[in-house]
């Protein structure tokens, strides 16, 4: 292997592997360094997302939803299903098979595009040199004209509930249960906590979510957040807000959690398993030599400019390790932007139009600003909403919870944000994201012809409702 490259990428998660493939497509001699190992101790690509994040969690969400439907909703369609049971090991085997297929796919794509794959722990040295230490402790030093840091993130630990990978687990451990816990505690009512809590609730767990924030999904549009809380509570999730965990104790096969409730009273709950999901932090341990020239900001993220360049010439950073939302698709696009700029192109990212999704059922998705943010900015605005309960397609699917909300500037009519809780919200939000990228108005969406009957019509009707023109629901009087 030649030790001089045009580009070296450290990390092969969604930000890293996409950057490596695009760099190779642009004719740049590229290497990608990855430390991840599978259960057999073999190096694999894909990072957290493919191995223990986005992909395996969605596999379990899909499996658990099918089980839930068979038990609780098939009879609505006239289907009788008797003796339905869940085989957790088989469910996990399916999940692992999907992970293996996708991580293997990255290796195949690397070969097809001419990316050199290097397994080991990468460390950035001065002058764009990268020291790689393999699993046996053997080191080699690679050199490049450009280095891209894509080391990702790792779960945040909290002292009152230290992860022991047995009774107390993080998001990774929650993907590996060998049976359904009778009683499950979840510390953290954010994206990861709600998704994992939903998986095990559908499979039969009694789930208690303990969240420190006073508001549910505080960073989201609060109309959508309140509707989501109502739906998830109806499904059986016990969501306790404004509660701070103060301690935990394991005894036998149980874990007892102590917390202070919203009234300041000490409370205790005992669980069979406890998931700690209070967020993630950038992963930079061992990543940077002291003389690398790369700086971290006050929150521990690699400091970068608007185009993901660090303070060290020729060194870039993308994905979860830099500022902005920790989203796989955000990191992927940053990876593409960086290598295209290295190749002399003027690629940029519109950070104002990045969709965000929570994969509960129904899904929750958003793009642009919330009503609270727009109001705080002092901009005049109009809102249009449409409930899925009025959607013929949603009724046919027996999936009518939730609504679509579109916010437009009151004077220019330009779409400022869209927020959805409901069936296929992750896919529907992309329609509005595309419209926003091209500067569309609510009227533009309202003038488009949408297929019938589709869930997409809810987006169309919400756009019409901005001006009081919705057809299939009574319009609210506009101010």
Residue 479 pLDDT: 54
CB 384 within 8 A of CB 470: yes
- pLDDT at site 51: 96
Chosen domain end from 225, 249, 278: 278
pLDDT greater than 80 at residue 2: no
Q: Determine whether 452 is an active site residue.
A: yes
User: Helices marked H in 7-87 — which ranges?
Assistant: 14-25, 47-52, 54-72
Q: pLDDT of 8-30, one tens digit each?
A: 999 999 999 999 999 999 999 99
pLDDT at 90: 98
Does residue 396 sit within a domain? Answer: yes
CATH number at residue 178: 3.50.50.60
Q: Are residues 29 and 128 in the same domain?
A: yes
In a domain, 474, yes or no: no
User: In terms of residue numbers, what domain contains 418?
Assistant: 353-465
Mean pLDDT estimate for the chain: 97
Based on the domain organization, do 35 and 150 belong to the same domain? yes
Q: Are residues 266 and 166 in the same domain?
A: yes
* Given the residues 73, 409, 419, 452, the one annotated as active site: 452
The mean per-residue pLDDT over the stretch 307-323 comes to 98
Residues 194 and 134 in one domain: no
Beta sheet of 238-240, edge-to-edge order: 168-169, 273-276, 183-187, 206-210, 238-240
User: 128 and 225, same structural domain?
Assistant: no
Answer for the pair 45, 17: CB distance below 8 angstroms, yes or no: yes
Same domain, 146 and 52: yes
Same domain, 219 and 366: no
Q: Which of 314, 331, 349 is the last residue of a domain?
A: 349
Does residue 478 belong to any structural domain of this protein?
Answer: no
Under 8 Å between Cβ of 164 and 276: no
pLDDT in the model for residue 72: 85
Question: Can you give 193-216 as a three-state secondary structure string?
Answer: HHHHHHHHHHCCCEEEEECCCCCC
Task: Tell whether 191 is covered by a domain.
Answer: yes
Confirm if 423 and 388 have CB atoms less than 8 A apart. Answer: yes
**CATH number of the domain to which 358 belongs:** 3.30.390.30
Q: State pLDDT tens for residues 347-360.
A: 999 999 999 999 99
Answer yes or no: is 473 within a domain. no
- Same-domain check for residues 148 and 15: yes
What the block records as the tokens of 403 is 């609504």
CA distance 108 to 334: 22
Q: Is residue 479 one of the residues assigned to a domain?
A: no
Angle CA 433–435–439, to nearest 5: 110
For the chain, how many structural domains are there in total?
3
Q: With cut-offs at 50, 70 and 90, classify the pLDDT of residue 477.
A: confident
Identify whether residues 399 and 445 lie together within a single domain.
Answer: yes
Are residues 114 and 187 located together in one domain of the fold?
no
The single residue listed with the structure tokens 């993901």 is: 308
Tell me whether residue 322 is in a domain: yes
- With vertex at residue 324, the alpha carbon angle to CA 322 and CA 330, rounded to the nearest 5 degrees, is 90
The verdict on residue 57 lying in a domain is yes
CA dist 47 to 20, 169, 172, Å? 14, 19, 12
Domain C-terminal end among 302, 331, 349: 349
Looking at the predicted structure, is the pLDDT value of residue 478 above 80?
no
Can you give the pTM of this predicted structure? 0.96
* CB hemisphere CA count around 125 (13 angstroms): 11
CA–CA distance, 393 with 264 (Å, rounded to integer): 46
Q: Where are the beta strands (DSSP E) in 284-333?
A: 315-317
For residues 167 and 196, the answer to whether their CB atoms sit within 8 Å is: no
Same domain? 18 vs 143: yes
Q: Residue 431: which H helix or E strand, with range? A: helix 425-437
Q: 320 with 370, same domain?
A: no
Q: Which of 368, 189, 367 is nearest to 279 (CA)?
A: 189
């Amino acid at each position: 292997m030649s030790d001089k490259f045009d580009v070296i990428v450290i990390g092969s998660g969604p930000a890293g592997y996409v950057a490596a493939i695009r760099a190779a497509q642009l004719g740049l001699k590229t290497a990608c360094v990855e430390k991840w190992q599978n259960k057999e101790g073999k190096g694999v690509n894909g990072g957290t997302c493919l191995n223990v994040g986005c992909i395996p969690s969605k596999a379990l969400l899909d499996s658990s939803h099918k089980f839930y439907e068979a038990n609780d909703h098939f009879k609505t369609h006239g289907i009788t299903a008797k003796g339905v049971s869940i085989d957790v090991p088989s469910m996990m085997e399916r999940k692992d098979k999907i992970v293996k297929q996708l991580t293997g796919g990255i290796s195949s794509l690397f070969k097809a595009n001419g990316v050199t794959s290097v397994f080991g722990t990468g460390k950035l040295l001065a002058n764009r040199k990268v020291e790689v230490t393999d699993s046996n402790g053997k080191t080699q030093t690679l050199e490049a004209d450009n280095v891209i840091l894509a080391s990702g993130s790792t779960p945040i630990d909290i002292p009152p509930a230290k992860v022991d990978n047995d009774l107390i687990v993080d998001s990774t451990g929650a993907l590996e249960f060998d049976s359904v816990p009778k009683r499950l505690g979840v510390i953290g009512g954010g994206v990861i906590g709600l998704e994992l809590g939903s998986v095990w609730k559908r499979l039969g767990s009694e789930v208690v979510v303990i969240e420190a924030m006073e508001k549910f999904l505080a960073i989201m549009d609060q109309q959508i957040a309140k509707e989501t809380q109502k739906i998830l509570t109806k499904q059986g999730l016990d969501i306790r807000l404004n509660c701070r965990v103060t301690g935990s104790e394991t005894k036998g096969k149980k874990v007892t959690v102590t917390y202070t409730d919203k009234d300041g009273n000490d409370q205790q709950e005992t669980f069979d398993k406890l998931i700690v999901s209070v967020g993630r932090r950038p992963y930079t341990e061992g990543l940077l030599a002291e003389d690398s020239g790369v700086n971290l900001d006050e929150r521990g993220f690699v400091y970068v400019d608007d185009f993901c360049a660090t303070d060290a010439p020729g060194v870039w950073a993308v994905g979860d390790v830099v500022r902005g939302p920790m989203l796989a698709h955000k990191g992927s696009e940053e990876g593409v932007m960086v290598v295209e700029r290295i190749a002399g192109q003027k690629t940029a990212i519109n950070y104002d139009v990045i969709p965000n999704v929570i994969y509960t059922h129904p899904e929750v998705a958003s793009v642009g600003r919330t009503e609270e943010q727009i109001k705080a900015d002092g901009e005049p605005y109009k809102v249009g909403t449409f409930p899925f309960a009025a959607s013929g397609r949603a009724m046919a699917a027996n999936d009518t919870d939730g609504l679509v909300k579109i916010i437009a500037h009151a004077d220019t009519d330009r779409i400022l944000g869209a927020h959805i809780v409901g069936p296929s919200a992750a896919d529907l939000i992309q329609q509005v994201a595309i419209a926003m990228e091209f500067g569309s108005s609510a009227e533009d969406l309202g003038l488009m012809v949408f297929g019938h009957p589709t869930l997409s019509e809810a987006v169309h009707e919400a756009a019409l409702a901005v001006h009081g023109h919705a057809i299939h629901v009574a319009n609210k009087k506009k101010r």
